[in-house]
Structure formats: structure tokens, C-alpha cells
Amino acid sequence: MPLSEAEKTFILHGVDENFRQDGRDREAYRPMELETGTVQHAFGSAHLRLANTDVLVAVKLEIDAPFPETPHEGKLEFFVDCSANATPDFEGRGGEDLAVELANTLASAYQSRQAFDLRKMCILKGKKCWKLYVDILILECGGNLFDATSLAIKAALHNTQIPKIKAVNIDGDNIEIEVSDSVSDCEKINIENAPVLVTLCKIGQHCIVDPSLSEEQCTVGSMVVAATKNCVSTISLLGSGSLHQDTLFQFLDFGCKIANRLNEALMETLANISVTNENVGFLK
């Protein structure tokens, strides 16, 4: 969506004055709504709506053999699908680049053991492990996809129930796994340290979070920071801009701060969601 020079100047001055187009300041997020447990067939799911951005995440579990190099770790895979519902640009293979970038960033964010412990996904060392497929469906694109996706994933993982394994019978090469019969006898995944992605955009001399579509057009350079509890698990520069080293450091600090705030708000909301899965709204 192209913008005229005058509109870009207006947005630029607005960011300088800490008063953006819709009245937010540089650190404010638009109102978000989160719903968990929406998809019946998935083990865990979440639906997040951030103003015009709509993301649906579902988690499915399968039993698989672990990689030979990491016999006591499970597997985690991200698939991103930008459906043509979101923008006509995504029709056919248009959304593939964005999907690949998003999936890659998420994969590298969750790669470290501190962020997400894959060892807990192991059932039998070297033979059987849980494989988590995290499927992300982008229903509507209104800017700021990375943040919305990461929050939705965290909520979906929180909502995921892994069936408890009662017994494992090894008979030569045959391995039989017995899963507990009752549906509610499950384990939950510990997602306290799961990272939250924050997109920071540099407009003029300052940086903002949660850009809208028109603000994204005016950025000089933008960065994605995946952070949790003051530790960074992934950073990558988006787009084709370059930053000075000091700006980079500024962004890092800013990003960590915002990520902590987002994390707190999300954990609070998740704690409030009751078993009946009502619709909860929260503001950042």
C-alpha cells in the first residue's frame, strides 16, 4: 500500500512527538483479544486478535523417533500458512516468503533449551519421542505479525495437553506405548520461559512497537527481538535497512523491556482463563 510523501512526513513527526496517528504513544500496543481452546481436534489452540491482525494457532502431537544426534530430545516444528483471506497479495505463492521468514524466526527463537525444553518431550531415549507440530494460520494481516504470532503460540502451548504415558513395553524391536485412558489425565507444558517476539521499527530518530500497516511503510529499519526474562533468544533484522551500533543497543534494551511487559500481561490473562474458555480481552 503506497503512501504519499506528505502522509509519511506526518507519521514521522508524530512519532517524534510521541503521539502516533491513532493517539498511541511509542510503546503502546493496540487492544488484543485472546481465546484458547478453540479448535476441537487439536491438543492445544489459541486465537489472537490484535486490532486488524488475526492469528489462529493449533498444536498437534505425534509420536516419532528422535534425531540420531539428539536421542533424548523431542521435536518441535513450526508451519506458517498465510491464507489468501488475509490479503489478496497472499494468493497462491505470494505469502510464501513471509511464511518462511516467520517460521524460521520462530524456529530459531525456540531452539535453545532454556526457552523450550525438548528433553521433556522424550518418551524413550533414542527410540520414541513426542513431536509437536505447531500450525499457524494467518487469517488477517494488519501489521505486526511476529508479535501476534508469538503470543498466540505461547498461549496455545500453555493450553496444550499432552496425554500421560502409563507404560512402555519393549519387546525386541517392537515398542508398545500405553497412554492413559482418561482424557483429562494430561501434562501441561512449562512455557514460562517461552520467548515473546517483539517487532521494533525505527521511524526517524525513535523506535516504535506494534506498527500499523501505514507505519510499516515509513520505517527505515526494523528488528525482531525474541526475549524472555532479560535474556534474548533470537534477534534478526527485518527488511532492508541498516542500523548503527548504538541504535542496535537501544533497540535491544527497549525490546527486552517491552517483551517482559507483554509476557506479564499474557501470563496474567492465561491464569484468568477458566476451564470453560470464555472470551477474555486485555489491553496492553
Partner 1 sequence: MPLDHKRLNGPEESVPYELFLRHKQETVEIKTLDEVTKDSDISREHPKIYLKTGTVSQAKGSAYIEIGETKIIVTVFDPKEIPNKQDYSLKGEISCEFKYAPFSCTKRRLHQQDNEEKRNSLIMKKALESAVCLHEIPNFQVAIHSLVLQNDGSALSGAIIAAGVALAEAGVPMFDIITSMTLEICRSNEIDSLRKMTGQIQVAGEKSHYGTIIISKLHANEQICQVHQTGFIPGDQLKNYITVLSKSCDSIAAIVKKCLLKEVVNHIK
Partner 2 sequence: MNSDSDNSISEKEVPEKSSANLKLTEILEKYHIIFKKSQVPKIKEKKKKHTKKFIKKYIVQIVKNISEQQLKRKIQNMKTEVKKKTDISATGNKNIILNLWERQLLTLVEGKEKPSFSKDTRGHGTYEEDGDLKASVAGVKEQVNKLISVRPLKSRYDGQVGEVLVGRIMEVQQKRWKVDTNARLDSALLISSVNLPGGELRKRSLQDQHSMRQYLQEGDLISAEVQSIFVDGTLSLHTRSLRYGKLAQGILVKVFPSLIKKTKLHYHNLPFGVGIILGNNGYVWISPPVSTTELEGNEGGFVQNLEEVIPRDIREAMARVRNCILALAQSYMMLFNTSVVVAYEESLKYAVHELLLPEVMIDVALLTQQRMNMMEDYEF
User: Would you tell me which residues interact with partner 1 (CB under 8 A)?
Assistant: 68-69, 100-101, 104, 107-108, 111-115, 223, 227, 230-245, 248-249, 252-253, 256
Residue 15 dihedral angles phi and psi, to the nearest 5°: -65, -40
> Does residue 92 touch partner 2 according to CB under 8 A?
no
What does 55 interact with, of partner 2, partner 1, none (CB < 5 to 8 A by kind)?
none
CB of 109 to partner 1, least distance (A): 8
Instruction: Tell me how far apart the alpha carbons of residues 93 and 82 are, in angstroms, rounded to a whole number.
Output: 9
Q: How many Cα atoms sit within 13 Å of 65 on the Cβ side?
A: 8
Hey, what's the cell of 224? 525482531
What does 14 interact with, of partner 1, partner 2, none (CB < 5 to 8 A by kind)?
partner 2
Cα 53 to Cα 39, 118, 147, 163, 207: the distances in Å are: 19, 30, 10, 32, 21
Closest CA to 162 of 194, 120, 192, 195: 120
> Does residue 28 touch partner 2 according to CB under 8 A?
yes
Instruction: Tell me how far apart the alpha carbons of residues 19 and 206 are, in angstroms, rounded to a whole number.
Output: 12
> Does residue 284 touch partner 2 according to CB under 8 A?
no
Cα 239 to Cα 102, 140, 202, 219: the distances in Å are: 13, 21, 11, 9
Instruction: Tell me how far apart the alpha carbons of residues 215 and 222 are, in angstroms, rounded to a whole number.
Output: 11
Q: Which C-beta is closer to partner 1: that of 109 or that of 153? A: 109
CB of 52 to partner 2, least distance (A): 11
* Whether the Cβ atoms of residue 196 and residue 230 lie closer than 8 Å to each other: no
Stretch near partner 2 under the rule CB under 8 A, chosen from 10-18, 114-122, 160-168, 226-234: 10-18
Q: Which C-beta is closer to partner 2: that of 88 or that of 172? A: 88
CB of 209 to partner 2, least distance (A): 14
112: DSSP letter:
S
Among 15, 23, 54, 182, binds partner 2 (CB under 8 A): 23
CB of 102 to partner 1, least distance (A): 11
Instruction: Tell me how far apart the alpha carbons of residues 229 and 71 are, in angstroms, rounded to a whole number.
Output: 29
Stretch near partner 2 under the rule CB under 8 A, chosen from 13-21, 53-61, 156-164, 194-202: 13-21
CB of 86 to partner 1, least distance (A): 21
What does 237 interact with, of partner 1, partner 2, none (CB < 5 to 8 A by kind)?
partner 1
Closest CA to 142 of 206, 189, 203, 212: 212
CB of 239 to partner 1, least distance (A): 8
Which residues contact partner 2 (rule: CB under 8 A)?
2-7, 9-10, 13-14, 17, 19-25, 28, 30-31, 51, 281, 283
